[in-house]
A and B are shown apart, each in its own frame.
Chain A
Amino acid sequence: MPTFAIVILVLISAVLAGVIVVRPAITLCRAGKILAFGVLFFLPLFSLVAGMSNEMERSESTAFCLSCHIMEPYGKSLHIDDPSYLAAAHYQNHRVPADAACYTCHTDYAMFGTFEAKLGGLRHLYIYYLGKPPLPQNIKLYKPFNNRECLHCHLGARSFEQGATHNADPATLPAIKANTLSCISSGCHDVVHNVGRWGDKVKFWDGGS
């Protein structure tokens, strides 16, 4: 349901609740009782669930993640005009949905991945508003990046399975799949966001959303 539709629903619910508050006597008749039940029980709960669902969906958007000032350099890194930058290459070539780029790579594809991501978001909020947020270049992942997140899309893809570098050593591909050799380990795809280490020569692509 679009946000504006939920806002209209919420406002209509509030107005109808206002009618009950101003004229509680209308609940003395049967129609008034039905109205009161709808306005003070059904509509508020429905509006709340719809609003929360909308916010949960919005929290997956790239714009939502980048709305925190501290994440601005990470948003900028998505526009670096250099295919060796992993995040930028994925974002610009739509290997991940551009409107959910952060969420797509940084959410565990496990049973409680989404739940953990939301809890992580609450932790970010706590640090941002009540703690001492680190500088953007000092932000670290809570735990090492799991290859599972990459393999969610790349496993079985020809470019991955038959890639020359992946097959140069017969032990490489099984190690990647077993998560014992990280995709972003040194010498592999280790240039991801590289915030704070761009230098002066880096260029930015001004296209995309």
Chain B
Amino acid sequence: MHRADSMGRRLRISGTFVIIGLLIEALCLVWSKPIAFVVLVCIGGTLIGLGVLFFLYSLVTAPAHTTDSSGAAADK
């Protein structure tokens, strides 16, 4: 239960970074000013990168679990 909550929280944080980064990218793509490229790379790219890295970090640091606990989590 604790593991699922912890992972869920991390996915939320990672997903939030990715969503904000993607929305900034979408805005930059329809914004035809030269500064759009800089905003896309510096802000959008950084947020997307942070989200992806945090997601990978979550996977790597997720505590190991047994088949039973996995089944129990899936049941919930």
Contact = CB atoms under 8 A, between A and B. Distances in A.
Interface of A: 3, 6-7, 10-11, 13-14, 17-18, 20-21, 24-25, 27-29, 36, 39-41, 44-45, 47-48, 51-52, 54-56, 58-59, 63-64, 67-68, 121-122, 124-125, 128-129
A125 B74 contact: no
Nearest to A128: B34
Interface string B43-75: 011001101100110000000000000000110
Given A28-B74, A54-B29, A55-B29, A44 B11 contact: no
Contact of B48 (A6, A29, A44): A44
Contacts of A24: 7-9, 11-12, 15
Interface string B12-51: 1011101101110110111011111110110011001101
Interface residues of B, number: 39
Would you call the interface of chain B mostly helix, strand, loop, or mixed? helix
A64 B34 contact: yes
Contacts, number: 115
Contacts of A48: 21, 25, 44-45, 48-49
Contacts of A20: 11-12, 15
A48 B46 CA distance: 10
B21 to A, nearest CB: 7
Interface of B: 4, 7-9, 11-12, 14-16, 18-19, 21-23, 25-26, 28-30, 32-38, 40-41, 44-45, 48-49, 51-52, 55-56, 73-74, 76
B29 A129 contact: no
Contact of B4 (A11, A13, A28): A28
Nearest to A68: B34
A52 B40 contact: yes
Nearest to A36: B11
B8 A44 contact: no
A27 B16 CA distance: 16
23 contacts: A3-B30, A10-B22, A10-B26, A13-B18, A13-B22, A17-B15, A17-B22, A21-B19, A24-B12, A28-B73, A39-B18, A44-B22, A48-B21, A51-B29, A55-B36, A58-B32, A64-B34, A67-B32, A67-B33, A122-B38, A124-B34, A125-B34, A129-B35
